[in-house]
Structure 1
């Protein structure tokens, strides 16, 4: 059977014999009503747990809208105009609105990237800035010891509106909701303190209620309140099939429930070989982002099996501390031991990859140099078919295969 995967801004093809194929892990085909702009407008008219935004907004007040950076698939250029139109209906002037791109620990944007995220018309109308980890206000400390250090423009705003997309997150449970603030517009020290709880057993994909990372970041909102959220769920074509608006927990949880109906996929058996991809640009822009697909794929592969990760990684590893940890480690196992003794933001993703390597090999199909890939404990390939053929050579001609074309967003769950 032939398959086609996203790879950067293009696609790549490969085939697997039908007799070897256990199945393809795809988002469920849901019957949806409205999509894209129409679905966002519906959600805005039916907010969960709050009044409508146009009833909450006060003209003359300083309003910030926090949205995702270029590494996220959040369609800001679709959602922002709708939210801004509602603010204008309340009498809010464009000059009182600032859009803040939540960088977390990621790099700053170019002006062209900001224009891409905003859309050309809004880019010329509404002020937009990147968050800055060095420009912050300390607002308090959570019970877990996380400093609530928030980008000054957000901390000083009169009203905060958070936008985001909801997908699975390998230790916060799900993206979206309060994550726009913590870690989105927080300092590196704050992010590090919150993320240090990833080593706890309940900090895992698809868990909310007992997840220590999620509990901590939502507690931070007591010190930096969110007035309104608009979160979306995307299908495999990256169109909006569900939007939720309103209270930062109540609306977010409704979005998470919808995601589970679409993307939590039961599998009868684990596979000897799992072939996965984050889904192309921007999710495979670097290894730091592509790691999410690995973390979901680990739930589908047998112990001693092989995961083939198809990810361009055109920008390399993508984060300096992550690069330091993974290149300096003598063995993959040492990263797990080190993160438990000395948690460091960036090192946490290196340790997460090492946890996958404890159970299975990783074949990496990327644009990275072969020697560099070997240094990060993976086996390098330039094309998918070569990786598939080598995996069968190692696992045997009768090896069973699962395909994950949307590895960053689909969560395999054993029956």
Structure 2
């Protein structure tokens, strides 16, 4: 019997698997963390990619919108932001002219306690506001893209003289990799913009890890040509949230340099798909079902699925905050079956957040999803076409009993690691 550590929120579950069972352990590559994050940020700011230094981009008296990540993105902004503020100070920018805008997208607003936990004493030094994609009084329309996508953004961000963003570069279902201009074109966009880009058609043309030729990424770049993002500071992190790279400078060029590092870290070749796939979820993505089920994305939406047709994906996550965005739950509960969810998406479209119903439906066409160690009731999960078993061990044992010859794939970090079948390479 072998024991394997699988993250589940803030704890680790040890999964026992009999020795004869073929197991593929799929973990992101080893990469040495930077010795000191603050020094790495300062070095990136002093040597920006395809850009002048930030202090030379600004002028005294200008207003600055500093777009920062919300609580669902775990990166050390308490360490990243102070060097940014120092650069702005050297350029003559006063702290009273800086507003930190939390890029919530369609997520809930962050509480004052969460902001203090994430940003520390910075919350006492500059103004912080939560973006609200639904409040039209806080939004402004800037027209449409060439393809007709409405461009609606946070008013504070749009009116600022200078726009800067922080972010993390990691695998993303629509954007291929998150980071770069996504923080402004989605993070502080209005619901019309987000809804028009997170739909059935867009999803047919995107894949995890695919940036080049990505229609969604093309939209991001077009949007920020109309509402310029002047400068970014992005990080690449291990599954343990250790920073291995900091890039700063031009939002497109610096992002591309970061993606090179991210690919070497996250993309892992495997020999074959499995009938049973376990995909772990660490805090804070484990807080709600909306985020936690992203652990199934890497299993199905990479270049090729790494779970066999009719297989099962086991996801251990407590989901203390419940389902997350309620819209997708309502859609799934009203649908007749999984095919009906896909049909609704194709014919009617979804509001922001509701696209999760389509994502889950497409996954369920490939494999079952079993949530374990989850606080949501079995009845709630059943209404979303998901199964529930009290513990990961119990769920695994049940599946192995059904299929004693099952091949197993274990992905301890189901949010970052991108398994790729060797034949695809």
* Contact kept in structure 2, 1:304 and 1:359, CA below 8 Å: yes
Verify: 1:356 aligned to 2:363, yes or no: yes
Query: In the alignment, is the contact (CA less than 8 A) between 1:306 and 1:363 conserved in 2?
Result: yes
Q: Is the 8 A contact 1:144 1:216 kept in 2?
A: no
Aligned mate of 1:206, from 194, 204, 209: 209
| In the alignment, structure 1 residue 329 sits paired with structure 2 residue 335 | yes
| Aligned counterparts of 2:276 and 2:353: Cα–Cα separation in 1 | 28
The alpha-carbon distance between structure 1 residues 227 and 11, as it changes in their structure 2 partners (threshold 3 A), is: same
Map of 2:44 onto structure 1: 43
Residue equivalent to 2:118? 117
1:281 aligns with 2:283: yes
Specify every segment of 5 or more residues in structure 2 that has no aligned partner in the other structure, as ranges: none
- Say whether 1:271 aligns with 2:274: yes
Going from structure 1 to structure 2, the CA distance change for 1:198 and 1:204 (only over 3 Å counts) comes to: farther
Equivalent residues of 1:200, 1:212 under 8 A apart: no
Alignment of 1:369-384 (within 5 A): 369-384=377-392
Look up the match of 2:130: 130
> Alignment partner of 2:284: what SS?
coil
Q: What is the CA RMSD across the aligned residues, in angstroms? A: 1.5
Paired residue secondary structure (2:363): helix
Mapped contact 2:202–2:215 kept (Cα < 8 A)? no
Q: SS of the counterpart of 2:286?
A: coil
Q: What is the deviation of 1:33?
A: 4.9
Tell me, in whole angstroms, the C-alpha distance in 2 between the residues paired with 1:209 and 1:66: 25
Matched, 1:342 2:344: no
Q: Which residue of 2 aligns with 1:257?
A: 260
Give the match for residue 398 of structure 2. 390
State the distance in 1 between where 2:91 and 2:67 align: 19
Determine the C-alpha separation between the residues in 2 that align with 1:218 and 1:193.
15
Note the C-alpha offset of 1:138.
Answer: 1.0
Quote the Cα distance in structure 2 between the aligned partners of 1:269 and 1:18: 19
Q: Is the 8 A contact 1:171 1:198 kept in 2?
A: no
Greater displacement, 334-343 / 61-70: 334-343
- 2:416 alignment partner, SS class: coil
Q: TM-score, length-normalised on structure 1?
A: 0.96
Partner residue, 1:315 = 321
Deviations 1:223-269 (A, max 9, x none): 21011000111112102111110111111111111110111111111
How far the C-alpha of 1:287 sits from its partner, in A, is 1.4
Contact 1:8 1:314 in 2 (8 A): no
Quick check: 1:173 aligned with 2:212?
A: no
Separation in structure 2 between the aligned mates of residue 296 and residue 84 of structure 1, nearest angstrom: 36
Residues 9 and 31 of structure 1: is their aligned pair in 2 closer, same or farther, counting only changes over 3 Å? closer
Counterpart secondary structure, 2:140? strand
**The one of 274, 290, 296 aligned to 1:294:** 296
Offset at residue 91 of structure 1 (A) = 2.5
- String of CA shifts for 1:100-125, please: whole Å, max 9, x gaps: 10111111121111212221x21111
Tell whether the 8 Å contact from 1:197 to 1:203 is kept in structure 2 after alignment.
no
Q: Deviations over 1:184-240 (max 9, x none)?
A: 111101111122265453311111121111111220112210110001111121021
Task: Give the alignment of 1:2-41 within 5 angstroms.
Answer: 2-31=3-32, 33-41=34-42
State TM-score, norm by structure 2: 0.94
Whether the 8 Å contact between 1:197 and 1:212 is mirrored in structure 2 is no
Contact 1:339 1:347 in 2 (8 A): no
Residues 37 and 11 (structure 1), Cα distance of their counterparts in 2 relative to 1, 3 Å cut: same
Q: Does 1:409 align with 2:407?
A: no
Deviation at 1:19, TM superposition (A): 2.5
Please tell me whether the aligned partners of residues 199 and 340 of structure 1 are also in contact (alpha carbons under 8 angstroms): no
- Provide the rounded CA distance (Å) in 2 between the counterparts of 1:388 and 1:222: 49
SS where residue 204 of structure 2 aligns? coil
User: Kindly tell me: are residues 198 and 170 of structure 1, through their superposed partners in 2, closer, same or farther at Cα, counting changes over 3 Å?
Assistant: farther
- Given that 1:35 and 1:241 are in contact with CA atoms closer than 8 Å, whether structure 2 keeps it comes out as no
Equivalence for 1:63: 64
- Partner secondary structure for residue 51 of structure 1: coil
Distance in 1, Cα, partners of 2:19 & 2:249: 47
* Cα contact 1:145–1:193 (8 A) shared by 2: no
